[in-house]
Amino acid sequence: MDKKGDKMTKLSMNKFINMTVSDMNRRNVMEPNFDKYPTGVNENKISFTEYDDDQLMNCPICGFNCTHITGVEVFARGEDAEEHIHTAVDMEEMSTKVENVKGHGRNPSGRRDGLILSGYCESGCKFDIEIAQHKGNTFFKSIKTGKIKDD
């Protein structure tokens, strides 16, 4: 129940997807990419360590608190739009790229705007953190993208 005491409706992800696809077909717009939504438990958790009045982000792969952000991708997309603007900043290459993309591309959101932070930790894990919004919820998903190569 919520704070007002009202009963809240719980939907399974499959029921939610079926309802949304039915609505999408009725409105004749681009179908969202439901592969982007969480379907189970993500084993790579984003966590933080308290440090004075700040928080340090721990590596979502191994938990080590010495992390570095190396890239940012921003996806600007109107709801269910067929195209979006993809802006990528690579801090290692010191480059920025802006492009119009048809379809979903790398956008972590199946329907709207999204962000991807790329980085690594000092124990050698490489990761992406995807941030997407849907129906008032903000989803975080972390993905292991490899290991840092020893020099």
Q: Kindly list the domain boundaries of the chain, sorted by start residue.
A: 13-147
The pLDDT tens digits for 67-85 are: 999 999 999 998 888 899 9
Cα–Cα distance, 110 to 89 (Å, whole number): 22
Q: Model's pTM, two decimal places? A: 0.71
The pLDDT tens digits for 115-132 are: 999 999 999 999 999 999
Nearby residues of 94 by Cβ (< 8 Å), 6 or more positions away: none
Comparing CA positions, the residue from 24, 15, 46 lying closest to residue 111 is 24
